[in-house]
C-alpha cells in the first residue's frame, strides 16, 4: 500500500513526504521530479513547448508507472487530481491524504517559486491561487481518503497526524 500526498503546491507535500519516508523507511517519489526527468526539461519548458495538456499527458504516464510500485510515498503534483484516471490509478494502491492551506498561506510559502508557469495567465498571483483552489477543491475532496489541514502546524506534527490516521484505518 502506498501513501499518496495530494494538494495545491505549497501545502507541504514534499516536506511532509520526506519526514514520513524517513520515519517509515519508505522511498519518496515526487511525480513532478519524475516528469522533469522523463521530459528532460523543466516544467516551464514542457508547458512552453506543448502547453499544459502535454504536461498533463506526461504526468498521467508518470502516475501510472509510479503507482505500479508498492510501499512508497508519492508526492503528487498539485494538478494530478484533474484527470479522473490519475485519481483512480493513485487510489488503486494508495491511501490519499489531501493537505490543505488557505490561499494567503500558500502565497507566502511559494512566493519565490519560479518553476511553475501561470495556470490562468492573466490573474494576480493570489487571484490565481484562489481561482485554481476553488476549481480543484471538489476534486481533492472526492479523491482524498483523509484531509490534513496544514495551517499553523509544523511538518513533524502533520506527519504524526498522517501516521495516526494510517494506524486508525
Domains and CATH numbers, the chain: 2-168 (3.40.50.300)
pLDDT band at 116 (very low <50, low <70, confident <90, very high): low
Q: Which residues pair with 25 in a beta bridge?
A: none
Considering 12-16, 105-109, 119-123, the range whose residues carry the highest mean pLDDT is: 12-16
Model-level pTM?
0.91
pLDDT at 126: 81
Alpha-helical segments (H) within 25-124: 31-39, 43-67, 84-92, 103-110
Average pLDDT estimate for 149-161? 96
Place of cell 511559494: 110
Amino acid at each position: 500500500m502506498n501513501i499518496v500526498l495530494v494538494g495545491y503546491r505549497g501545502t507541504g507535500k514534499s516536506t511532509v513526504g520526506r519526514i514520513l519516508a524517513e520515519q517509515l523507511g519508505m522511498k519518496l517519489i515526487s511525480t513532478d521530479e519524475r516528469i522533469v526527468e522523463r521530459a528532460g526539461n523543466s516544467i516551464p519548458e514542457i508547458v512552453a513547448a506543448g502547453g499544459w495538456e502535454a504536461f498533463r499527458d506526461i504526468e498521467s504516464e508518470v502516475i501510472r508507472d509510479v503507482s505500479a510500485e508498492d510501499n512508497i510515498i508519492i508526492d503528487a503534483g498539485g494538478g494530478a487530481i484533474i484527470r479522473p484516471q490519475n485519481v483512480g490509478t493513485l487510489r488503486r494502491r494508495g491511501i490519499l491524504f489531501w493537505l490543505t492551506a488557505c490561499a494567503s498561506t500558500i502565497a507566502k510559502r511559494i512566493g519565490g517559486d519560479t518553476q511553475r508557469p501561470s495556470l490562468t495567465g492573466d490573474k494576480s498571483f493570489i487571484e490565481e491561487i484562489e481561482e485554481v483552489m476553488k476549481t480543484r477543491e471538489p476534486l481533492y475532496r472526492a479523491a482524498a481518503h483523509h484531509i490534513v489541514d496544514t495551517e499553523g502546524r509544523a511538518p513533524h506534527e502533520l506527519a504524526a497526524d498522517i501516521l495516526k490516521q494510517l494506524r486508525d484505518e
